[in-house]
Each structure stands twice: as C-alpha cells, then as structure tokens.
Amino acid sequence: MRSPAARKAIVVVAALAVGATGSVSFRPPPAGAQQVRLDSAKQLAQAAITRRVLALRQLTTAAKTIVRLSDADRGALSSQLQDQVNGLTSLNAKIQGDPDVATVRADADKIITDFRVYVLTIPKARGAVVSDIELTAEDRLSKLADRLEAMIERASGNDTTKARSDLASLRAKLTSVTGTVSPLPASLLALQPSGYPANHATLEQARASLRTGRAGLADAATQARTVIADLK
C-alpha cells in the first residue's frame, strides 16, 4: 500500500502530463483526423502538379509556332515538354493512391527534384522559343539587306560609298547575331533536371547570349534605317 506521499507524487506527475499533452497517454490521433491530413496532402500535391502541367502545355503550344529551329531541335523541345507532362500526370496518379502522409510527402518531393519545371524546364523552353524569334527577326533583316543592296546597285550612278559601308556594317551585325543565337537551342535542350543545379550556369549564359542577340538586332534595325537614309 502506497504512502500518502507516494500517492501525492503520482497525482502531481499525472497532472503535469495532462497539462503538457492534453492527455495522460500518447495514443495516435483518430483515424478521421489522419484521413483529413492525407487528403489535404494529396490536394496540395495535385495543385502543384496541375500548375506545372498547365505551364508546360502553354509552352508546347508556343513550340508549334517555331520557324527557324531545326527539325531536330523542334522535335526535341516538343518531346521534352510532353515527357514532363506525362511524368507529372503519372506521379499525380501515384500520389493520389498513396496510403499515408509520409509516402505522399516523399512522392511530392519528386515534383521538384525529378522535374525542375520552374527553375529549368520552363526557362530553357522559353530560351529556345526566344532563340527562334530572334533568328526569325535576323532572317527578315537579312532579306531587307538584300533589297537595300539591290537599291544601291540601281543607284550606281550616284555616290553610294557611305550606303555600301553602312550596309556592310548591317550585314556584320546580323552575322554576329546568328553566330550568338544559333547554338543556343541545342545547348539549352541538352540541360536535364538530373544535372541541376550544376547546369544553371549554362542557362544563365544562354540568357546573356539572348540579351546580346536582342541588342544586336536593335543595332541592325538602326543600321538598316541609316542605309535607307543614305539612299535618299
């Protein structure tokens, strides 16, 4: 039989346990609460996947308008985007069938680690599309340069020295743009999620090259207007 002091000690310990945990036992939460947490985790994962799939599909539509990229680059871009859509769709099906929160969380981590949609796939796809836009602009300016050259030849009875010099500068700028931008799609499409973050530097270099290409096109357009003024 416990002494009064011992009984008092037991009561004190029990009271402290209730105050700290709300219960004198450490029983798991009710099954209903576990299901709520599981459902919530699955919904969050599904929302994250849906956002990525929608963004990838928008880029897939943009890829169909590509003109200047090679068939190989265009095909690689479309294939990579579709592969990610398929992979994320399959992952979502797996997550929705996961039996517990821990498994859902482990699978949800793969949304980032296995796909890198926002930090790699979308930027590289946009880079490929912008490359095509810049190369298309270069092509149009090259055709304009050809027409300007024909105008210079027709004006051969006049002094066309400056016009010819400015036209040469225009063609040099366009050549520089082509040399800067043309290699970018292939280098961008070679970047894979498994190589991130090491391949982030290549992505940043491509962005810098696209800025250089855009500036070169602006200079070329200005130079074209100068040639036109020379011929007036």
Q: What is the pTM of this model?
A: 0.80
Q: What is the DSSP string of 137-194?
A: HHHHHHHHHHHHHHHHHHTTTS--HHHHHHHHHHHHHHHHHHHHHTTHHHHHHT--GG
Helix 200-230, helix 161-181: angle, nearest 10? 160
Is there a contact between 108 and 41 (Cβ–Cβ < 8 Å)? yes
What is the rounded CA–CA span in Å between residue 179 and residue 168? 17
Torsion sign (Cα): 103, 106, 108, 110:
negative
Mean pLDDT calculated for residue range 31-40: 90
Distances, alpha carbon 224 to alpha carbons 136, 140, 172, in Å: 16, 11, 12
Question: So what's the pLDDT on residue 69?
Answer: 86
Q: What's the mean pLDDT when you consider all of the chain? A: 89
Quote the CA–CA distance of 86 and 106 in Å, as a whole number: 19
Query: CB–CB of 121/84 below 8 Å?
Result: yes
Please report the pLDDT score of residue 3 as a whole number: 56
Percentages of the chain per state (helix, strand, coil), in multiples of 5: 80, 0, 20
CB 186 within 8 A of CB 73: yes
- The share of the chain scoring above pLDDT 70, in percent, equals 87
**Contacts within 8 Å (CB) and 24+ apart, 33-40:** 34/101, 37/101, 38/98, 38/100, 38/101, 38/104
Residues 49-65 pLDDT 10s: 999 999 999 999 988 88
pLDDT single digits (tens) 115-159 = 999 999 999 999 999 999 999 999 999 999 999 999 999 987 889
What's the residue count for the chain?
A: 232
DSSP tally for the chain: helices H, then strands E:
8, 0
Taking the C-alpha atoms of residue 51 and residue 199, their distance in angstroms, rounded to an integer, is: 24
DSSP states along 13-55? HHHHHHHHHSSSS-PPPPHHHHHHHHHHHHHHHHHHHHHHHHH
